[in-house]
Amino acid sequence: MRQEGFYEEFHSFYYYSGSTRSWKMKGLHIHKEYELLLFMSGGASIRIGSRMYQTRPGDLFLINNREYHKTEGAEGAAYSRYVLMFDPDWILGLEPALGYRFSRLFEDREEGGVRLHLSGGTLEQVIRQMERIEGYSRRREDEAGQVLLKLCILELLVKLDEFSHSLEAGGGDGWENCGRAGGGKAGREPGGGRGREAGSGVGQEPGSGMSREAGSGMSREPGTTPRERVEQIKTYVRDHVDERLDLEDIARQFYISSHYLSHYFRRETGFTLGQFIAQAKIDRAKELLQKGFSVTDTAISLSYNSDSHFINTFKRLTGTTPKRYASEMRK
C-alpha cells in the first residue's frame, strides 16, 4: 500500500539538539539514514508507519530508513529533543568483521519503530554520548574526527542494545514495538536543549521543507561473542534436528540476518551452516538406524523430502548407504 509522504535529503549525517514551540512537520517523510530521536519534553506525538505514539520525557525512538514518520509538538508548548541521523551502510559493513549486530534495533523487528523509555543514570549516559557525538561531528572534515564520530555512534548503539536486552529479559518494561507496551519509571527531565545543530541543513529541521515525492519505502544475550553465538546455534540445531531447518528460520530465532549468520558461522567453524545441519541429521540418523529404524522411518523422522534424498545425503557424508550401515552395525 502506497504511503503519502516525501523524501528528504540529509547527506548521510544530521545532528540537532534544541527546543521549538508548536513544531509540526508538513507530512510523513522518509530518508536514507537511520534516526534516533530522544524526547526531553512530553506532550509531542510521533507517527512511525501505522503506529502513533504519545511521548514522555526520556522516550527514545529508533527509526530505520524504510519507515515513514512524522513528529508534532503540542500547540504552544516547547518541543525539546535530540536528533541523530546517520547512513547505515558503514554500520552494516562493520557487522561481519566485528561480530556484533549494531543494527538489531533498527532491522530485527516489525515495522513501527522502537520506543525505549530512559530514566536516571541510563538517560544521563545517553545524553552525554549524544553530546560527545555533537562535538566530534564538528570535526568531520578531518579523518580522525570521522573515526571518533563513528566510534561514538557505535558505542551508543551498543549501550542501547544492551539496555533493550535488559528490558526484554525483565518482561518488556520500558520497551515498545508492535504491541509490546513499555511502562518504565518516569525519570527526571534534564534541562532543555540549547538550540545547537551540527551537520547538514543548518537552521532547518527535519520535515520543514518538501523535496521529491517518495512512494512506499517500504543471541539473545548482550555481549555474546560470535563463538558463543555459534555454539548456541549448534545446540539449537541439535535440539531441533528432526525438523526442517533452514538458514532463514534459524536467523529469525536469533534475531540476526541470514546473510550475517551465514558469514560468521562459516568464519568461526570453517564450514557452512547447511553443512552442519546435514551432518547433524546424519549423526542422528546413525543413532536411529542402530535402534532398528528402517530407512523410510529414519527419513521421515528427520524431515527429509524423500527416501532418495536421505540415502544420497547419507552416502555422500559417510561413503556408504543407510541400509549397509545398519547391517554392519547389527553384526
Distance CA 54, CA 23 (A): 15
The whole-number pLDDT of residue 224 equals: 53
Q: Do both 141 and 82 map to the same domain?
A: yes
Q: Do both 118 and 174 map to the same domain?
A: yes
Q: Do both 179 and 303 map to the same domain?
A: no
In-domain check, residue 219: no
Which parts of the chain sit beneath pLDDT 70?
A: 1-4, 22-23, 76, 168-226, 255-257, 259-260
CA torsion sign for 177, 179, 180, 181 is positive
- Provide the domain limits for residue 292: 226-330
Distance CA 1, CA 62 (A): 23
The whole-number pLDDT of residue 158 equals: 93
Last residue of a domain, one of 151, 184, 199: 199
Q: What is the pTM of this model?
A: 0.54
Q: Do both 123 and 236 map to the same domain?
A: no
CATH label of the domain that carries residue 316: 1.10.10.60
Which position has the grid cell 527419513?
299
CA torsion sign for 258, 249, 65, 55 is negative
The whole-number pLDDT of residue 18 equals: 85
- Please give the C-alpha separations between residue 327 and each of 295, 299, 314, 322, in angstroms, as whole numbers: 12, 17, 15, 9
Distance CA 222, CA 165 (A): 6
Give the end-to-end CA distance of the chain in Å, rounded to a whole number.
65
In-domain check, residue 210: no
CB 159 within 8 A of CB 94: no
The whole-number pLDDT of residue 20 equals: 77
Q: Do both 189 and 236 map to the same domain?
A: no
In-domain check, residue 218: no
The whole-number pLDDT of residue 288 equals: 96
R_g of the chain, CA atoms, integer Å: 25
The whole-number pLDDT of residue 252 equals: 78
Q: Do both 155 and 303 map to the same domain?
A: no
In-domain check, residue 255: yes
Q: Do both 182 and 47 map to the same domain?
A: yes
Q: Give 174-214 pLDDT, tens digit per residue.
A: 444 433 333 333 232 323 333 334 443 333 445 543 332 22
Which position has the grid cell 564520530?
149
Question: Which set of grid coordinates corresponds to residue 44?
Answer: 509531542
The whole-number pLDDT of residue 277 equals: 94
Report the candidate in 171, 69, 188, 181 with the shortest Cα–Cα distance to residue 118.
188
Q: Do both 56 and 98 map to the same domain?
A: yes
Q: How many domains does the chain have?
A: 2
Last residue of a domain, one of 164, 199, 234: 199
CATH label of the domain that carries residue 122: 2.60.120.280
The whole-number pLDDT of residue 69 equals: 93
